[in-house]
Every structure is written in C-alpha cells, then in structure tokens.
Amino acid sequence: MTFAAAETPHGWAVQRPGPIGTGPLARVRRRPAVPAPGDLLLEVEACGVCRTDLHLAEGDLPPRRPSTVPGHEIVGRVVAAGEAVASFRIGDRAGGAWLRGTCGTCRYCRAGQENLCPRSSYTGWDADGGFADLALIPAAFAYPLPGDRDAASLAPLLCAGIIGYRALRRSALPLGGRLGIYGFGASAHLAAQVALAEGATLHVLTRSVRARELALDLGAASAGGAYDAPPEPLDSAVLFAPVGDLVPVALEALDRSGTLAVAGIHLSDIPSLNYQRHLFQERDLRSVTSNTRQDGRDFLALAERIGIQVTSSPYPMSRADQALADLAADRVNGAAVLVPG
Ligand SMILES: [Zn+2]
Ligand SMILES: [Zn+2]
C-alpha cells in the first residue's frame, strides 16, 4: 500500500454507549485492514454526522459489536481495492452509506425490498464506519460520486439525503400536493428541496428558529413551531424529529386520506392515539426502514439534476465528539460534516 495515511490511522469508536455528556466516544488507533476481494479501502475526505450515529453513541441502538467506529456518510478516494472489484479504480471517488450488506436471496431481497432484508448489515454498526482516516466498504454497496465536487457537501446526501428521499416517497405526496415536514435538520432540508422541485407546497414545523429561517429561504410556504397547526390541511407529512409526541399532532394535521411517514430509525414512545381524531377518514401512518440501493441511485441522480443545496457545518475529524454533542443539543444548522484535520 502506498498511501501516506496508512502509517497513522486513527478514528473514533463508541466505547461506552451512554448520554453524550458522558463521553461515549473515544479516539482509537487501528491498522488499516487489507480489503477483502469485494471491498474498497477509502481515504476519507468527509464523513457526515447523522442522528443515527448519535443513537449509536447514546445506546438507543444497542451495539452489535464492541468498539465500533460510527459514521455512514462517507466520501473518500479509493486507495486500495480487493481483487474482485471491477466497478471502481484507485483514485476514484466513492460514497459509503448506511446499508452495507444484504443476503440477496430472501423474499425481500428478491422483491426489490432489500431495505427489509432480515440479514442486512450496516456501516458503523456491524462494521467500522467513517469517523476515521480510512474506511473499508463493500464495493457492491458503494456509490460512484463526482470527483470535482466539494466532499463535505456530498457527504450528507449519502444518508440524510437518501433516507429523506425514501421518506418523502413513503409519504405518498401527490403531484403538487401539500406537504408538512416536522423537524428540519439534515435529512429534512434535502427532502424539502426534492419536494419543492416537484411542485409541492411545503409547510415546515420545527422548534428551531434558525431551521425555520432556512426552510423559508429554501422556499417553504410557511414555517412554524413543531406543535403548531399548519395553515392548511396536509396531503402528506414526514416526521423527521425523533419525537413520538408529534405523531398524533402530525396525524391531526392531515387531510382526509393523508399519509404520515415516520423517517427515523428510533422514535420516542407514541402517546395513545384516538381512532376518530387521528386515523379515521383513511389517514395512514407509515414507517420508513433504511433504503434500497435503487433509492440511493435515484436520489443521487436527482440531487445532481436539481442542483440540491447542502447546508453544512464542518467540524475537524478530531472534534467528532463535539459534532455529536451539538447535534444532540440542536445546535447544528443543516448537516454536521467531519473533515480530515
Ligand atoms: Zn435478504
Ligand atoms: Zn444516517
């Protein structure tokens, strides 16, 4: 291996899952693994910080193996590739995302629903992720990325963007429909741009005043508090805030036959629902589970076509703990992104 970073690899790992104030992340030094036949070794140019990383650090998602490096919005250059890799060459830019493996043979995989594969694996949970100088990802689950774009503005597309896109599709928004978005962080501000490009009328409901300003700048018709009623009934809503209390609030905001999609992998408990107030008139409540690689390809092509704008807050890799703490405290505008240094 000829890359300079090999001598001093380092990153962060979840050592003691717990509240972010207790310091669940620790710096680790690891030798770079030699890529397996189907793997890419990436020199990390940027890695986005996702709320799922926070859930992993805090133990909301229990660890699947000890001392795992989080981070699943990885933009990097290929510095080594396994012998079976034909789709990437040394020097190419590649993206590593949350979904990193499926069985390929179960009924879900065969039906184009690999996001539901019971034997799926995830970057930063089942294997080390991108809060590090180097990251190994399976080439079959890597995305080719344009080499001439700012790495920090590409990283949030890989989870926030793709999951937001799937959540938007799960919300069954009709053409020109009225969309409510609850919570307006990294994922929401990207999904919002897709919806607006497709002609939606957007209402954003979030506790963050800065996020409301961003929503209006992007073209939202209104922006209010998380528990406020939108100015008109909604055809569709997406709940990005991991707050179960907002489920009945968003259901009540739906028009007849409206759909609410819950985007997060983790949600606090939903309070009891009243059938008449929250569900009758054929309102639908749906979850969103991971994504397929097709979602990723579709979204990345769409993002390029509509020129999606990523609002990001860069942090040096050495301050990954601070980035997570800021995310926990809602101090991040748009997406937090780690960059080497
Ligand atoms: Zn499967
Ligand atoms: Zn994520």
Q: Domain of 282: which CATH number?
A: 3.40.50.720
Residue 1 lies in a domain: no
Kindly state whether residue 136 falls inside one of the protein's structural domains. yes
71 and 180 together in one domain: no
29 and 65 assigned to the same domain: yes
| The overall pTM is greater than 0.85 | yes
| Residue 4 placed within a domain | no
Ligand number with the minimum distance to the CA of 327? 2
Distance of CA 37 from the midpoint of ligand 1 (Å): 21
Task: Tokens 């180097």: give the residue.
Answer: 134
Task: Please check the confidence at residue 311 and state whether its pLDDT lies above 90.
Answer: no
Ligand nearest to the CA of 121: 1
> Which pLDDT score, from 0 to 100, does residue 279 have?
97
Are residues 281 and 197 part of one domain? yes
CA distances, 7 to each of 4, 47, 92, 133 (Å) = 6, 20, 21, 11
Residue 87 near residue 33 (C-beta atoms within 8 A): no
Residue 74 and residue 161: Cα distance in Å, rounded? Answer: 13
Same domain, 272 and 321: no
Domain that holds residue 180: 162-287
In whole numbers, what is the pLDDT of the chain averaged over residues? Answer: 94
CATH number at residue 96: 3.90.180.10
User: What is the rounded CA–CA span in Å between residue 300 and residue 157?
Assistant: 7
pLDDT at 30: 78
Model confidence at 154, pLDDT cuts 50, 70, 90, reads very high
Same domain, 281 and 258: yes
pLDDT of residue 341: 80
Element (H, E) at 328: helix 320-328
Give residues whose Cβ lies within 5 Å of ion ligand 1: 102-103, 106, 109, 117
| Domain identity same for 248 and 315 | no
* 62 occurs within a structural domain: yes
Q: Are residues 98 and 215 in the same domain?
A: no
Ligand 2 center to 274 CA (angstroms) = 32
- Domain assignment present for residue 74? The answer is yes
Q: Who has greater pLDDT, 19 or 5?
A: 19
What does the block give as tokens for 264? 């997060």
Task: Kindly state whether residue 293 falls inside one of the protein's structural domains.
Answer: no
User: What pLDDT is stored for residue 8 in this prediction?
Assistant: 55
Q: Are residues 67 and 135 in the same domain?
A: yes
pLDDT digits (tens, 9 = 90+) for 234-253: 999 999 999 999 999 999 99
Ligand nearest to the CA of 120: 1
| pLDDT tens for each residue of 41-50 | 999 999 999 9
Give me the number of domains the chain comprises.
2
28 and 84, same domain (yes or no): yes
pLDDT average, residue stretch 179-188: 95
Nearest ligand, CA 109: 1
Do 136 and 43 share a structural domain? yes
